[in-house]
Amino acid sequence: MPIDPAARAASELPLPDEAARAHSTALARHIDAEIAANGGAIPFSRFMELALYAPGLGYYSAGATKFGEAGDFVTAPELGPVFAACVGDAVAPVLQQLGTSALMFELGGGTGAFAQVALMRLMELDALPARYLILEPSAQLRERQRARLFERLHPMLFELVEWVDGPVPHDWNGVLFANEVIDALPTPRFSIRGSEVMEQYVAVEDGHFVTQWRPADSMLLQAVRHVERRIGRALPDGYVSEVLPQLPYWIQAVAGGMKRGAMLFVDYGYARSEYYAADRRDGTLRAFYRHRMHDDAFAWPGLQDLTASVDFTALAEAGVAAGFDFAGYCSQASFLLGNGLAGVLSRIEHLEDDAERLRRTSEVKRLTLPTEMGERFQAMGFSKDVEFGAAFLAGDLSHRL
């Protein structure tokens, strides 16, 4: 039976238009063909990889609108200039220490909003990099970024921007920055069944994607046992969650040949003890479709985002294993407060345009309030032969790791 995403779509989700449904069906059948070619099932991590990144079809590889009110979710840089300006304040001391040959390397450029503001702020701080590199898997987003930056940046700043297809291929010094990237790494999912660790696989039955549980391979098994040793208890029977055994290798790959510099990651997640809390029995995987969060990872492949929260303890371990010094960990609200937010607030207060002042005030609230992004999102930094300065001193959370 040919697979049809519409047959299982959750009734509360808006119905995509005909072209979008056709796109989703094409991706679903592409995944179905890979399942058939691999003995009738593939690991969930592979399903997630195809759903998000299959060339020309995956959510991040195709042309659907993703960011902003017309998309599926809103990221911090899309709210306005505050987030990127504060990140600029945080990384400027590092770039200044590295000198005129330093690079700034952004993973996943969104609409280009972050690069636009960050470059202008770094120019104000006399900390411009020699090149501003953007690694963006979506051809459509690359063009959107290019158009925005060409239109809104001074030509001198635009000339610094370069789109790349992978990590820096040579030794380099600089800053690597990633906002909401690790949550979109294809993740294995596991379940505890008695004394066994099982891995989620995806199969097809009656034209639908369905879950199968199979014994975990040695890499996943070791990763889950490592979690249990570190939290000091066995995970209970029936417990389902995610773990990223490949995270140390991914960090090493994206950092590439960085000899001196820093890495800064901002994402939503928890320290390990909270991530694997006993009452979080269904994991953190979620889907985002037109600003609706739901738990059906198989609905509308290619039209919805799939994410899992970040285990920041695992990220700290991976960064240190890659040869970096741990520089700090705090909530997004604390990070912004420690990196120039007071100056931003002062400038907002002096805006003569009442509507603009209201917009910027609302932006700051969304970025910092605990009920919004302020506590759910967290920042973590690493350094190598440079000083990050006071970037993480406000509200340090490293004791939670």
Q: Is residue 178 packed enough to be buried (19+ CB in 10 Å), middle (13-18) or exposed (0-12)?
A: middle
pLDDT for 229? 97
CA separation for the pair 43, 278 (Å, rounded): 25
Tokens standing for residue 400: 């939670």
pLDDT for 148? 96
Nearest to 364 by CA among 51, 29, 93, 83: 83
pLDDT for 4? 65
Residues 106-114 have a mean pLDDT of 93
Strands 196-205 and 42-43: antiparallel
The CA-atom distances, in angstroms, between 131 and each of 149, 158, 210 are 14, 10, 46
Q: Is the pLDDT of residue 15 over 90?
A: no
The CA-atom distances, in angstroms, between 309 and each of 189, 243, 244, 266 are 12, 10, 11, 11
Could you give the 3-state DSSP secondary structure of residue 341?
helix
pLDDT tens per residue across span 209-247: 999 999 999 999 999 999 999 999 999 999 999 999 999
CA separation for the pair 33, 225 (Å, rounded): 33
Please say whether the beta carbons of 321 and 376 come within 8 A. Answer: no
Tokens standing for residue 279: 């009452």
Please say whether the beta carbons of 338 and 390 come within 8 A. Answer: yes
Alpha helices in 129-260, H assignment, sequence order: 139-152, 155-158, 218-231, 247-255
pLDDT for 68? 44
**CATH for 76-184+248-272+309-400?**
3.40.50.12710
pLDDT for 125? 96
pLDDT for 13? 75
pLDDT tens per residue across span 31-76: 999 999 999 999 999 999 999 999 889 998 875 555 444 444 578 8
**In which region does residue 323 sit, left (phi positive, over 0), alpha (psi from -120 to 50) or beta (all else)?**
left
Residues 269-286 have a mean pLDDT of 96
pLDDT tens per residue across span 74-106: 788 888 899 999 999 999 999 999 999 999 999
Strands 189-193 and 240-242: antiparallel
pLDDT for 73? 54
Q: Is the pLDDT of residue 128 over 90?
A: yes
pLDDT tens per residue across span 320-359: 999 999 999 999 999 999 999 988 888 888 888 888 888 8
Contact residues for 300 (Cβ-Cβ < 8 A; gap 6+): 5, 9, 13, 16, 20, 24, 289
pLDDT for 2? 59
pLDDT tens per residue across span 293-318: 899 999 989 999 999 999 999 999 99
Residues 371-384 have a mean pLDDT of 95
Name the percent of the chain lying above pLDDT 70: 94
Confidence of residue 156 (pLDDT cuts 50, 70, 90): very high
pLDDT for 11? 55
Name the percent of the chain lying above pLDDT 90: 76
pLDDT for 14? 79
pLDDT for 325? 97
Nearest to 108 by CA among 154, 163, 45, 57: 163
Q: Please, what is the average pLDDT of the chain?
A: 92
Nearest to 42 by CA among 25, 24, 54: 54
Please say whether the beta carbons of 77 and 309 come within 8 A. Answer: no
Strand order in the sheet with 305-307: 292-294, 286-289, 305-307
In the block, residue with structure tokens 């907002």: 348
The three-point CA angle 251-257-263 to 5° equals 45
pTM for this model (two decimals): 0.93
Q: Is the pLDDT of residue 9 over 90?
A: no
Helix (H) or strand (E) segment spanning residue 212:
strand 208-215
Nearest to 300 by CA among 56, 11, 42, 61: 11
In the block, residue with structure tokens 């000198």: 99
